[in-house]
Amino acid sequence: MGISEVAAIEQLNAEFYGAFEDGDLDRMAQVWADDKDADGGVVCVHPGGPMIRGRGAVLRSWALIMANTSYIQFVLTDVLTRISGDIAVLTCAENIITASDEDGAGFAAGGHVATTNVFIRTNDGWRMWLHHGSPVMLRGDVE
Amino acid sequence: MGISEVAAIEQLNAEFYGAFEDGDLDRMAQVWADDKDADGGVVCVHPGGPMIRGRGAVLRSWALIMANTSYIQFVLTDVLTRISGDIAVLTCAENIITASDEDGAGFAAGGHVATTNVFIRTNDGWRMWLHHGSPVMLRGDVE
């Protein structure tokens, strides 16, 4: 594992959040792997949501979230990347500034999200295979 | 990747939930990797909680959760395992029956949790490197 490969993963990770911030579904679609590259299809868990499997359903979820997000910005902290074989696992904390439409639905998050992002190596380079974000609601807790 | 390796991962995954159901911290400790085997240390996100890094903090969190859980049982559905190199990623839905002490704190979950479990191959065999469980709160949502 070279440092350059970690840098490539973190650049793709930044592109994932950049696509979301810009509300650019085409860029988001480029980030995600095809289902054929991913056993069982790509996987996405939005904060508070169920596990969504398959590229079609995942991209539809992003279209809906982007349509209901007028402004969102991410500052990532505590980023750690581990690569083995054709899988890279990146964990981080998302610190979010957001504004949603009044009628916005389907996205329950704000403030702080704990995230696991998994990338796979494809013929077209690294692509996102799994995004799992979960709301951080507890304080003064188990740590 | 042999089918037997997937079976080994799913057996270890079952042991993880079995240790939790039995409130057996020693068995839970056996499931988790040492920090030396895991760049940046092992990682655990309990539903609604922050990202906990490091074996010491993770096992303390389990001790606290077990102390505050009088009964819990898991039925796993939608289990999918992907292995590459020395990393295995298992995603599943946890369907939970639970009872907590009245004063129980630090564990906000029940009903349904979306989960990503990542295992790494160590000199002692496969061990858990990351557990990320998130509460499923939204219905009629992005799917």
Q: Does A110 touch chain B (CB under 8 A)?
A: no
Looking at the complex, does the CB of residue B77 fall below 8 Å from at least one CB of chain A?
no
Low-confidence ranges of chain A (pLDDT < 70): 1-3, 100-110, 138-143
Q: Check if B76 contacts A (Cβ < 8 Å).
A: no
| pLDDT confidence of residue A37 | 83
CB of A93 within 8 Å of any CB in chain B?
yes
Tell me the chain B residues in contact with residue A137 when contact means C-beta distances shorter than 8 Å.
Answer: 48-49, 108
User: Is residue A106 a contact partner of residue B142, using CB atoms and an 8 Å limit?
Assistant: yes
Question: Could you tell me how many CB contacts below 8 A there are between chain A and chain B?
Answer: 156
Residue of B nearest to A105 (CA): B141
Residues of chain A with Cβ-Cβ distance to B67 below 8 Å are none
pLDDT value of position A141: 44
State pLDDT tens for residues B41-77.
Answer: 999 999 999 999 999 999 999 999 999 888 899 999 9
DSSP per-residue string spanning B35-97: GGGSTT--EEE-TTPPEEESHHHHHHHHHHHHHTEEEEEEEEEEEEEEEETTEEEEEEEEEEE
CA B90 to chain A, closest CA, distance in angstroms equals 11
pLDDT for the residue numbered B142: 41
- Chain B contact for A125, CB < 8 A? no
Q: Backbone phi, then psi, for B62, in 5-degree steps?
A: -70, -40
Q: Is A124 on the interface with B (CB under 8 A)?
A: no
Average pLDDT over residues B2-15: 90
Residue B141's pLDDT band (cuts 50, 70, 90) = very low
Asked if A105 has any chain B CB less than 8 Å from its own CB, the reply is: yes
DSSP H or E run through A110: none
| Residues in B touching A107 (Cβ below 8 Å) | 142
B79-133 pLDDT tens trace:
999 999 999 999 999 999 887 655 555 554 458 999 999 999 999 999 999 999 9
Q: How far apart are the first and last CA of chain B?
A: 31
Q: How far apart are CA A139 and CA A67, in angstroms?
A: 31
What pLDDT shows up at residue B9?
Answer: 97
Looking at residue B58, its pLDDT comes to 98
- Chain B residue numbers with beta carbons less than 8 Å from the beta carbon of A3 are none
> What is the helix (H) or strand (E) element at residue A103, kind and residue range?
none
Residues of chain A contacting residue B112, judged by C-beta atoms under 8 Å apart: 50
Instruction: Give the separation between CA B58 and CA B98, rounded to whole angstroms.
Output: 21
Residues B81 and B102: beta-carbon distance below 8 Å: no
- pLDDT for the residue numbered A13: 98
